[in-house]
Structure 1
Amino acid sequence: MTARVHRRALLCALAALTATALPAAPARAAPPPALRFGACPDSVPDPPAPERVECARLSVPLDWAHPGGPHIEIAVSRVRASGSPAERRGSLLVNPGGPGGSGLPYAVTKRAKLPQSVRRAYDVIGFDPRGVGKSAPADCGPMGGLFDSPGADPVPTGPVAERTYLASLRDLADDCAAAARDRLPHLSTEQTARDMDAIRAALGERRTNFLGVSYGSYLGAAYIARFPHHTGRMVLDSVVGPRDWYDFDVLQSRALLRQRDTFFTWTATHGDRFGLGHSAAAVRRAYLRVRERLAEQPVQAFGPAEFDRAVYRALGRTERWAGLADGLRTYLRDGSTDGLRPETDFDGPASRNYEAANRLVKCADGPGPTPREIVTDIRRTRRIDPQPVLTGMEASSCAYWHHRPAHRTRLGSPEAPPVLLVASAHDPVTPAEGARQLRRLLPGSRLITLDNDYSHGVFASRGNACVDDNVAAYLVEGTVPPTDRRCAGPGLPEAP
């Protein structure tokens, strides 16, 4: 046998060995078909004429690691760019936050607030993330009594109340597991980031341009980690930061205490207007009287849990502070809670879906706390202030979750192009330190901070020309500021 035959036999043997020894390459999902846009559901408002909104559905794998398995549909909306073809820069995906926020109508509502140059340059693309709204909506049933009216006091005091609090978290986790079943591990931010890239491909875009607010910033950072070379111009506004969800919730609960103290001082400054006292201490006493009375005797199913939810919502935006102060005064004067009740129905289908998706996503994104950590952190927070607001502590339920993620969600990438981060200096919902921390994971990126501002959501939201002009220049022209920018903010509002 010649040397050539020997070599040929050896190569054939190696090829056969390799074929049997190496595992088969994982199946890849087929390229998504182009989106077919048509009429939208009633939940999507119409934009001003002559513009119009159109909607489509995109089939994606429930588990992107097994693209041949079950599929779900993602609902997508679009309002086309209003400028000339020469002005067009592509598609701009938008996300309003959460987790659990519906993005389908956001293409209309957020677009209306964007600078004109951005509206002329981009098709604005909204979508309901998986588990939300019209995209395979999640349901957790009674969620451990979360929707009871009035709800149990959400701030446990003493060992018996702490055990009851932990039991409610366990019940919530059990309810989600019973309702979500096989979908439980797949309603994660990483899977949604894969859905975003499928939307990009279905739109025929080479890169994903994105505006994400609050949780949307976390989703955008997860997309960057997975698809740095598909990342286009990204604006991450009111940044969550690179933390586990539970650690973030604890950070937020402490920031809310600082914000509430600021609210007490502001209300006292306008003491004649609100009638709650002329010192922060006096306003605080009035606030505590309201909560204590509601805990003793709820009014029309409005008790301490409902009160804390109203306070949580109001503290995030300074334009809601006057309404909160008026509501406190009205209750103390005539016992009515009408001024404290939010406009949205907490027990309605949309709210139920939001609360379920919020927990499902947070608990799918990384490891949760232990019950001991939860109790320890509540006690530490109560040492800072005996009556904290714990409404945003959604990730506490992850202590009893039925599926424990193997790893944390990866955020950011040094391979991505520069992105723009935006923060309000005193945002209590997503404290500004999160933006500074995420910036370190995004080399070449820039941070725009709105100083002397106390609200959540900045770009095309606070009406600040410095912020809006810088972000618009980045989105339309790709202009990255040479350094981080600080813009002068509005300060606290005048009382109406």
Structure 2
Amino acid sequence: MPRNIKRVAALLPLLLLVVTGCTAGPSDRPAVAYRDSEQQVAPGPNPPEPAPVPPLGGPAADALHWEDCTHRTRDELGGAPPDLTFSCARLLTTLDSPEAPERGTQRNSLIRIGDGTRVPLVVLGDVNGEPGTVFAARLAVQLPPALRNTFDIIGMDRRGTGESDPADCMKPQDRESIVGFDPRATERRTLDRLLDSVVSASQECLLTLDERLQAYDSWRTASDLEELRLELGVPKLHLIGRGEASRVLTTYAERYPSSVGRMVLDGAPDPTRDAIGRAESRAQAAERTFDVFAQQCTSNGCPLGPDPRRAVRDLVERTREEPLPAPSGPVPAGRVVRALQIGLRDQDSWPQLAEALAAGARGDGTGLAELSAPLLAPQGQNPPWLDGDVITTCNDTTLRVPPQRSGQLAADWVKRFPLFGGVAAQRIVWCGSWPVPQRPLPVPRRGDLPPIPVITTAHDPQELALSTDHMAQQLPTGVQVRWQGAGHGALGRSTCVTEAITRYAVQGAVPTEGMVCPA
């Protein structure tokens, strides 16, 4: 019997336990408390002194084989300044699966913006967004010349995403079911249908990925960064992480403190809350950001009318019964909400989001289908986002919630967060049938790191401002920088924040603690 078939057989009892209401691992923990089994690092009695800002260092002396990919990257971005050149490479790292520790090979896709004559600056983005290479290229376009003239910006597709051995393993019908699932479902019988799709997806991914399944996580991505540093031939790695990628960077700092250069976290999740607490806070963050979107829309002749929240709520209710038509296929209510989540990330695109929602209200789902398409379908050479998101999310937490508890969370959150509470609760359901990871992510506690600017956005649809503030407070060397604007990530969007981070990255000038940048 092939090994992957044996592993499915071994996993099936766990899946059946989940379906019947049992669970492995902790389940009934308070939603807001993190002081539980996901905590790993105990605080030391006498924290060391913070390290000084590391020297900038010199250019990489790497042996990576870089090839020009400017034309392809320009197509993916929809254009770029003529002075920017892009080159791509592959980095081979150790897979290090639980079944074969420190063995196997993982291929990581890289992009470099620059000609290799400058200091490397590595950028990582969220696992639930566009691949890291595309994100790094897009961010480079937004960064000022002072940064681009100092650094070669390097992006990496995280494990299982983009072209880094992508986790393209779910059946299309399972993706459609998971993404399009009723965002206001609260009854156990209804949620069981979602669980059926999740179980089917997990079985398919286990068959396809075999031992790789549990090797796609933030812990091992941190080791990819260390292997990248060694390959680049630099003593310290300068790093920027947006959103959930901040957990990769703090894990890297805990594991390889002497390798940390100048590091920035932009829109980091709360390290003091468990998976339930983080999902709850993200639902709240999306609701608050939607209110800002609605206010801005009504101030500029909103196509959704005088009450955008009511218009969107009515649209969701209608599509619960009858999906919107679109050229690529029907757009059910869950997909409407997920399109809204994606659209809220970039404030510059809010007018287009409003038009897509208004078209949906008129019965045309084309715009909303286009917004949510990357979750479900390949985009060029990049696979659907959903697979890598689910796998990494579930591998990064030891929390497994039984179906009964999931229904209770859904009922509570749908009332408190009418647009986004349901899909937030569904993310908890995702992990119920996945193997529990052997190692939780470490809590960021090191006090011997250099100063780390942590950027908070007042209205971030993915992270509450308070959540990112908690990251800055948890890090002994964290430095709070606040932007009063909206969208996911301030770097490259706020001139004030970007200038402060540029001074830090280029000159080593640490931002003033608690500095506030206007919207």
TM bin, normalised by shorter chain, reads: 0.7 to 0.9
CA contact (8 A) 1:240 1:430 kept: yes
- Residue identity opposite 1:185 in structure 2: Q
- Residue identity opposite 1:251 in structure 2: S
Distance change in 2, residues 1:181/1:378 (3 Å): same
Runs of 4+ in 1 over 6 A off after TM superposition: none
Distance change in 2, residues 1:77/1:110 (3 Å): same
- Residue identity opposite 1:455 in structure 2: G
Match of 2:410 among 375, 378, 401: 378
Distance change in 2, residues 1:443/1:143 (3 Å): farther
Name which of structure 1's ranges 345-354 and 295-304 shifts more when overlaid on structure 2.
345-354
Matched, 1:79 2:133: no
Match of 1:174 among 174, 195, 203: 203
Distance in 2 between the 1:417 and 1:378 partners? Answer: 41
Which secondary structure does the structure 2 equivalent of 1:59 belong to?
Answer: strand
TM-score by length of structure 2 reads 0.78
Which secondary structure does the structure 2 equivalent of 1:136 belong to?
Answer: coil
Distance in 1 between the 2:348 and 2:178 partners? Answer: 27
CA contact (8 A) 2:127 2:158 kept: no
1:175 Cα deviation (Å)? 2.9
Match of 1:449 among 460, 482, 485: 482
- Listed as ranges, the matches of 1:382-461 within 5 Å are 382-388=414-420, 390-391=422-423, 393-451=426-484, 453-460=485-492
Distance change in 2, residues 1:466/1:284 (3 Å): closer
Matched, 1:359 2:390: yes
- Residue identity opposite 2:502 in structure 1: A
1:186 Cα deviation (Å)? 0.9
Aligned position for 1:493: none
Match of 1:286 among 304, 311, 320: 311
1:182 Cα deviation (Å)? 0.6
Distance in 2 between the 1:387 and 1:459 partners? Answer: 27
- Residue identity opposite 1:250 in structure 2: E
Question: Where do 5+ consecutive residues of structure 1 fail to align?
Answer: 1-31, 490-496
Distance in 2 between the 1:484 and 1:291 partners? Answer: 39
Which secondary structure does the structure 1 equivalent of 2:474 belong to?
Answer: coil
Distance change in 2, residues 1:116/1:224 (3 Å): same
- Residue identity opposite 2:302 in structure 1: F
CA contact (8 A) 2:187 2:407 kept: no
Distance change in 2, residues 1:254/1:33 (3 Å): same
CA contact (8 A) 1:249 1:394 kept: yes
Matched, 1:137 2:166: yes
1:343 Cα deviation (Å)? 4.7
CA contact (8 A) 2:338 2:372 kept: no
Which secondary structure does the structure 1 equivalent of 2:373 belong to?
Answer: coil
Identity %, equivalent residues: 25
- Residue identity opposite 1:365 in structure 2: D
1:480 Cα deviation (Å)? 0.7
- Listed as ranges, the matches of 1:220-239 within 5 Å are 220-239=249-268
Deviation track 1:291-335 (CA, whole Å, cap 9, x = no partner) reads 222222223212212211222122333333333333343444x42
Aligned position for 1:186: 215
Which secondary structure does the structure 2 equivalent of 1:345 belong to?
Answer: helix
Give the total of aligned pairs.
444
Name which of structure 1's ranges 285-294 and 216-225 shifts more when overlaid on structure 2.
285-294
1:358 Cα deviation (Å)? 0.8
CA contact (8 A) 1:189 1:409 kept: no
1:219 Cα deviation (Å)? 1.5
- Listed as ranges, the matches of 1:103-142 within 5 Å are 103-142=132-171
- Listed as ranges, the matches of 1:443-482 within 5 Å are 443-451=476-484, 453-460=485-492, 462=493, 464-482=494-512
Which secondary structure does the structure 2 equivalent of 1:349 belong to?
Answer: coil
- Residue identity opposite 1:450 in structure 2: W
Distance change in 2, residues 1:246/1:173 (3 Å): farther
- Residue identity opposite 1:309 in structure 2: R
Name which of structure 1's ranges 224-233 and 387-396 shifts more when overlaid on structure 2.
387-396
- Residue identity opposite 1:297 in structure 2: E
Aligned position for 2:90: 57
Which secondary structure does the structure 2 equivalent of 1:425 belong to?
Answer: strand
Distance in 1 between the 2:87 and 2:293 partners? Answer: 42
Which secondary structure does the structure 1 equivalent of 2:132 belong to?
Answer: coil
Aligned position for 2:53: none
1:265 Cα deviation (Å)? 4.2
1:485 Cα deviation (Å)? 0.8
Aligned position for 1:297: 322
Distance in 2 between the 1:265 and 1:105 partners? Answer: 31
Distance change in 2, residues 1:336/1:239 (3 Å): same
CA contact (8 A) 1:139 1:352 kept: yes
Distance in 2 between the 1:43 and 1:410 partners? Answer: 39
Aligned position for 1:3: none
- Residue identity opposite 1:56 in structure 2: A
Distance change in 2, residues 1:202/1:344 (3 Å): same
Distance change in 2, residues 1:232/1:200 (3 Å): same
Aligned position for 2:38: none
Distance in 2 between the 1:245 and 1:173 partners? Answer: 19
Distance in 1 between the 2:232 and 2:238 partners? Answer: 12
Distance in 2 between the 1:173 and 1:409 partners? Answer: 26
Which secondary structure does the structure 2 equivalent of 1:370 belong to?
Answer: coil
Aligned position for 1:25: none
CA contact (8 A) 2:298 2:305 kept: yes
Distance in 2 between the 1:407 and 1:395 partners? Answer: 17
Distance in 1 between the 2:398 and 2:473 partners? Answer: 23
1:436 Cα deviation (Å)? 1.6
Aligned position for 1:23: none
Which secondary structure does the structure 2 equivalent of 1:212 belong to?
Answer: strand
1:144 Cα deviation (Å)? 6.9
Relative CO higher for 1 or 2, CA cutoff 8 Å, sep ≥ 6?
A: 2
- Residue identity opposite 2:250 in structure 1: A
Distance in 1 between the 2:179 and 2:211 partners? Answer: 32
Aligned position for 1:257: 287
CA contact (8 A) 1:254 1:381 kept: no
Greater radius of gyration (CA): 1
